[in-house]
Amino acid sequence: MPAAGKKTVEDIDVQDCRVLVRVDFNVPMSPGSARISDDSRIRAALPTISYLRDRGCRVMLCSHLGRPGGEVDEEMRLAPVRERLSELLGIEVVDGRGPAGAVPMKVMESLAPGAVALLENLRFNKREETNDPGFARKLSALGEVFVNDAFGVAHRAHASTVGIAEHLPAVAGLLMARELEMLAACLENPRRPVLAIIGGAKVSDKIAVLRHLAGRVDTVLIGGGMVTAFLAAIGHVDAGALASADVEAARSLLAVSQARIITPTDVVTAAEFAENAEPHTTGVAAITAGALVLDIGPETAGVYAGEIAAAKTIIWNGPMGVFEWPSFAAGTSVVANAIAANDDCVSVVGGGSTAEAVGALGLRERITHVSTGGGASLKYLEGKILPGVAALLDAHDASDE
């Protein structure tokens, strides 16, 4: 099935091909160690890798890890990722070296059908992020087909997301296809009512998403740090030290939105932003000057749960509070569990923090789709064109046949 009008790896003949695959192995590492703390992004790429191996492909994977700034950083080498991938696949994943130079080509030529290699961190080469044509050409020489399965960087116009596609037939991997299909299902002819749940620190971070969704969904639930700006826009709290742009953005959205925008009626506040700060639950009209809103309150969480239970399509981006701290995690937990309990809806969770919260609560399997791309899913929800997706072959393009 074409993903958002793009060809996928299932739409072309890859039998016995040399295939270059862009994956997103930008996994979190435990502080001060080379131990992967969450391998979900590696696991998410397994279906595409297995699909190619089953067809006798010689597979060269490429990814970035962290932000080394174009320099070699020993703490950002992909060796731990390669070791974990080897365990998951049950084979030795070969060190492809590079990412540039002559060694990667020698490695690719030495691979047997069904074998897999992984290049060194792409961002060790400064030409990756500048989409340098020469670097893209070097990478493209490794394959006969390019499969982009890295939705998490689809919003970046880099050599490994856009440049390679100028030299090779470029299609979406199975993960990329799933990401695009699920996001499209929420915005293009979705089952109604459609509910968007949007959290985040500042309105300015999410205003583009809110404006785009306000004309496409039926209801928007507001949570996270941006709650204060919306309450100020309504007149419940004094704007105080809030950025005037955030308050004005909230006010303008409330004035023009075609969707119902529901804001909290009660919140959990604290005098300081600290894990051990004393929490206070209060109605929005009684928020004291200088208090920080760190979660939605129980009354609001109940209202939100009711809206969630009635929805047929749900988009969630941004926690309801500082969920990492137990005193301010209840709102996020109620929302996540309410989504998981709605068996008659399509639910899509996007954003790194939101996905982390769902994972911490053990609810991943009860959500229709948890996106691997924080920034990319955000840009998609803003209605922006993703360069890494635009570069792929269109579903009706016959140039690869």
pLDDT of residue 350: 86
In a domain, residue 148? The reply is: yes
Whether the Cβ atoms of residue 348 and residue 315 lie closer than 8 Å to each other: yes
Please check whether residues 38 and 140 belong to one and the same domain: yes
Question: In the annotation, is 192 catalytic?
Answer: no
Please check whether residues 267 and 153 belong to one and the same domain: no
Whether the Cβ atoms of residue 8 and residue 173 lie closer than 8 Å to each other: yes
In a domain, residue 372? The reply is: no
In a domain, residue 359? The reply is: no
Residues whose CB is less than 8 angstroms from the CB of residue 10 and which lie 6 or more positions away in sequence, other chains included: 51, 174, 177
**Helix/strand/coil percent split, the chain, to 5:** 40, 15, 40
In a domain, residue 93? The reply is: yes
User: Strand (E) positions, 126-255?
Assistant: 145-148, 170-172, 194-198, 219-222
pLDDT of residue 221: 97
Please check whether residues 138 and 232 belong to one and the same domain: no
Catalytic option among 41, 82, 123, 178: 41
Q: Read out DSSP for 255-290?
A: HH-SSEEE--SEEEEESSSSTTSPPEEEEGGGPPTT
Whether the Cβ atoms of residue 197 and residue 169 lie closer than 8 Å to each other: no
Whether the Cβ atoms of residue 201 and residue 224 lie closer than 8 Å to each other: yes
Please check whether residues 253 and 315 belong to one and the same domain: yes
Query: Which residues lie across from 97 on neighbouring strands?
Result: 119
In a domain, residue 156? The reply is: yes
Please check whether residues 41 and 102 belong to one and the same domain: yes
CATH of the domain at 291: 3.40.50.1260
Domain that holds residue 52: 9-178+386-390
Residues whose CB is less than 8 angstroms from the CB of residue 2 and which lie 6 or more positions away in sequence, other chains included: 8, 11, 395
Whether the Cβ atoms of residue 198 and residue 24 lie closer than 8 Å to each other: no
d(CA 156, CA 20): 18
Question: In the annotation, is 352 catalytic?
Answer: yes
Residues whose CB is less than 8 angstroms from the CB of residue 350 and which lie 6 or more positions away in sequence, other chains included: 183, 315, 316, 317, 371, 373, 374, 377, 378, 381
In a domain, residue 368? The reply is: no
Please check whether residues 158 and 228 belong to one and the same domain: no
In a domain, residue 258? The reply is: yes
Question: In the annotation, is 202 catalytic?
Answer: yes
Q: Which residues of 380-399 are buried (b: 16+ CB within 10 A; e: fewer)?
A: bbbeeebbbbebbbeeeeee
**What does each C-alpha distance from 243 to 164, 291, 296, 385 come to in angstroms?**
42, 15, 21, 29
Q: Which amino acid is at 281?
A: T
Please check whether residues 106 and 137 belong to one and the same domain: yes
In a domain, residue 221? The reply is: yes
Q: How confident is the prediction along the chain (401 residues), in pLDDT tens digits per residue?
A: 345 689 999 999 999 999 999 999 999 888 777 789 889 899 999 999 999 999 999 999 999 999 999 999 999 999 999 999 999 999 999 999 999 999 999 999 999 999 999 999 999 999 999 999 999 999 999 999 999 999 999 999 999 999 999 999 999 999 999 999 999 889 888 999 999 999 988 788 888 899 999 989 999 999 998 999 899 888 877 655 555 778 888 999 999 898 999 999 999 999 999 999 999 999 998 988 888 999 999 999 999 999 999 999 999 999 999 999 999 999 999 999 999 999 999 999 987 789 889 999 999 999 999 988 878 888 998 889 999 999 999 987 655 44
Please check whether residues 17 and 129 belong to one and the same domain: yes
Please check whether residues 264 and 328 belong to one and the same domain: yes
How would you class 161 by CB atoms within 10 Å of its CB: exposed for 0-12, middle for 13-18, buried for 19 or more? buried
pLDDT of residue 147: 98
Q: Which residues of 4-24 are buried (b: 16+ CB within 10 A; e: fewer)?
A: bebbbbbbbebeebbbbbbbb
Please check whether residues 279 and 150 belong to one and the same domain: no
The torsion angles phi and psi of 204, rounded to 5 degrees, stand at -60, -30
Residue 6: which of 197, 230, 165, 167 has the closest Cα? 165
Catalytic option among 97, 137, 202, 216: 202
Q: Read out DSSP for 338-371?
A: HHHH-TTSEEEEESHHHHHHHHHTT-GGGSSEE-
Please check whether residues 103 and 234 belong to one and the same domain: no
Catalytic option among 352, 359, 364, 384: 352
Please check whether residues 139 and 250 belong to one and the same domain: no
Domain count across the chain: 2
pLDDT of residue 364: 92
Neighbours of 205 (CB within 10 A): 15
CA 278 to chain centre: 32
Q: Which residues of 67-88 are buried (b: 16+ CB within 10 A; e: fewer)?
A: ebeeeeeeebbbebbbebbeee
